[in-house]
Amino acid sequence: MYLVAVLGNLLIIVAIISDSHLHTPMYFFLSNLSLADIGFISTTVPKMILDIPLQSKIISFKSCLTQMSLFLIFGCMDDMLLTVMAYDRFVAICHPLQYHVIMNPRLCVFLVMVSLLFSLLESQLHNMIVLHFKYFEDSNISNFFCEPSQLLYLICSNNFTKNIVTYFVSGVIYGFLPLSGIFFSYYKIVCAVLRISSSSGKYKAFSTCGSHFSVFCLFYGTAFGVYFTSPKKISVASVMYTMVIPMLNPFIYSLRNQDMKHALRRLQSRAM
């Protein structure tokens, strides 16, 4: 699964870079999403692969902080890029004649850099919370990686404090703000599509959002399963969140996207 995820996402990046037909804002964001997925799965799975033959789940304090920082950076990048891609679809469907003017290369790079900055801030916020509590350095976490929600259960003995921190940090900052942007974009998209008279036009407009919507549902469905589930039931959701979704993303975008299919065929013909 790890090799399929890494190679699949690398193939998406290579296809987008090598094919001039895919040098558009949507595929620029998709290549960055694939890069974030590679980093996301590489943060946790290699250690799990080493832990399986050793029958060990022990993570040192420094390793825990490092792993959690990278996990949050790449996870938040996924989150922010999905929001940016929703905005890109909103502009493409609601303002098609102005699309290339609005989504110019400068704005695309700016949106990716803002996503990265927001991810770094999110990671440091979690680190500042954890660094105040060093008495759990010798504790073992029953998971294959340092999941922020599990660390919260270790450092907070008060259930009210746990809920406040979980819902504020994970729910508001990590979920509510990006979700608001995605829902607003899709609300505008649905309103614009409903005004189209022909059914073929409606289908064509909705089909451009199909891949993004599928990835969005998978990502947030499992993410909420991790952050709002008891730590004893977190393992299955964690595997889905960290392994399955990065592996499925290349298939979703390649199988549902004709442009990507053509680009992969052209890449295969050049390789042969």
DSSP states of 26-47: HHHHHHHHHHHHHHHHHHHHHH
Is residue 38 within 8 A of residue 4, CB to CB? The reply is: no
Buried b (16+ CB within 10 A) or exposed e, 7-17: ebbebbbbbbe
Rounded distance, CA 21 to CA 259, Å?
8
Q: Where would I find the H helices in 55-104? A: 61-94, 99-102
Global pTM value = 0.82
Structure tokens given for 32 = 């960055």
Distances from the Cα of 114 to the Cαs of 8, 45, 79, 103, 168, in angstroms?
A: 26, 27, 12, 15, 21
Separation between Cα atoms, residue 175 and residue 44, nearest integer Å: 21
Which two tokens mark 229?
């589930």
3-state SS class at 81: helix
- The CATH code that applies to domain 2-271 is 1.20.1070.10
| Residue whose token pair is 């964690």 | 238
Integer Cα distance of 173 and 125 in angstroms = 10
Contact by Cβ (8 Å): 265, 12: no
Q: Is 223 exposed, middle or buried (0-12, 13-18, 19+ CB in 10 A)?
A: buried
d(CA 266, CA 207): 23
Phi and psi torsions of 198, nearest 5°: -80, 140
Domain edges within the chain: 2-271
Mean pLDDT for back-to-back runs of 10 residues, the chain (272 residues): 90 88 89 91 84 73 80 87 90 89 93 91 76 62 65 58 55 69 86 80 74 77 64 59 80 74 77 69
Q: Which residue has the tokens 């399986």?
A: 52
Q: Identify residue 46 by its one-letter amino acid code.
A: P
CB 266, CB 11: distance < 8 Å = no
Q: Note the Cα 71 to chain centre separation in Å.
A: 11
DSSP assignment of 51-63? HHHHT-----HHH
Picking from 214, 241, 216, 247, the residue whose alpha carbon sits closest to that of residue 226 is 241
